[in-house]
Each structure stands twice: as C-alpha cells, then as structure tokens.
Amino acid sequence: MTEPAPLPRLWEFLKDMQVAPFGIPIMQRSWQVLTIFSLIDELHIRTFIELGVWVGGLADLLIRRAEMVGDIVYYGFDTCGVTCGQFQTDDSLGFTPERAAIAQARLEGHPSLVLADVLEPGTVAVVSGIIRARAEPAFVYCDDGDKPREMRAYAPILRVGDYMMSHDVPSGNSVADLAAFGVEFPYMVEIDPPLYRGLELSLWRRNA
C-alpha cells in the first residue's frame, strides 16, 4: 500500500492549486471556497455581499448559487471589472484570453455586480439597504484593496446576528489590525480565530 504524502506536501499542493470550476479563475484558495459555501449553509446566510470582485471567479459561483438554488441574494462591489480593462491575461493566475472571454460573456453588465468604490459612504449606504431588506443573516466578505478599512466601514451597518469575514489573513489584514478592530468594535466577536486564521481568513459576528 502506498503511503500518503506528508502533510507539508499536501498543504503546498493545496496552496498552489488554481481553481476555476466554470472557467473563471478564483482568487480564493480551494479550501476557502469550500469554507464560504459551508458557512452559507451552516449560518443560514441569505444575503451575501462581496467587497472586491476582481476577476469574478467567486462572484460567478455565488451568482450560480443564487440563480440555481435561490436561497441567497448576492451582490458584488468593485471599482473596476470587465468594462474597464481589469480582465487582462495573466498566466500566473491561469487567466488566459479564453478565460477572459468566458468572464466577459458571463459577468459583464450582470445586475448583481456593481461598479462602485466600496469605501464610499454612498456604497456603504446601498449595502445597508440590501442587508436590511431581508430578515435572515447577512454576510459581508471583505476582499478589496484595504481590508482593515473595509471592516471598519461596514461593521456599523451590520445587525445583530450578521457576519463579516476578511480574506488574506495575515498578508492583507495583520494580527495587529484584527486586534485593534476588536477593541474599536466591541460588539463584534471573532469566531474561532485558530481555525479561521489557520485558513487565512477571519470570521466575525455582530453580537450586540
């Protein structure tokens, strides 16, 4: 019987894996995609807000979930997208011209994708309205260019029982940033930091 690969090798394999289930590369790690969809079910999320869409791989999956299952409302916000040249060939991301064409055909002009600066007060107000339109829990996923500022901008509009998650921990949201956020917003509680930070994420819930 062949021995399984050691854990460090398996971990490196997962980290190097490029995920594009429907042809559009996803900037999240494979395990982060699985975590997000698991949390949608586990936490009974019914409104999903993505701050920072980038090339749209995760957006495509969440839009498909909304269209096919019908249990969530999804909106993605970004300052750029297929209409302003963001979809360029980048072989390091597995983003070939063929995949760029798929992204344009699928996502350009989609009503769930909003071209807006996620830190503008007007955008925050729009997201607040979307969240308050449904009684069930909302989930704000911070993955634009300044995750510490995004968390601070959107925490106040969350209702008790709503969730927020930061991507790129600690590279884009350091241990010090997260600690300061917890002090500044005592009504936000981080959920299982050893687990989610180990997945390069940080999950928070508004408790008061």
3 domain-assigned: no
54 domain-assigned: yes
pLDDT tens for residues 33-49? 999 999 999 999 999 99
Give the CATH number of the domain where residue 156 resides: 3.40.50.150
* Confidence at 166, pLDDT banded by 50, 70, 90: very high
pLDDT tens for residues 132-152? 999 999 999 999 989 999 999
Residue 30 near residue 57 (C-beta atoms within 8 A): no
- Stated as kind and residue range, the H or E segment containing 42 is helix 30-42
For residue 87, CA distances in Å to 83, 103, 143 come to 9, 8, 17
1 domain-assigned: no
Q: What domain count does the chain have? A: 1
Q: What does the pLDDT read at residue 90?
A: 55
For residue 103, CA distances in Å to 54, 88, 110, 177, 188 come to 11, 11, 11, 33, 35
Q: Tell me the two tokens of residue 146.
A: 């300044």
Expressed in percent and rounded to 5, the helix, strand and coil fractions of the chain are 45, 15, 40
Q: Tell me the two tokens of residue 189.
A: 């509680």
- What Rg do the C-alpha atoms of the chain give, in angstroms? 17
166 domain-assigned: yes
11 domain-assigned: no
pLDDT tens for residues 50-88? 999 988 899 999 999 999 999 999 999 998 765 444 555
Structural domain that includes position 134: 27-87+109-206
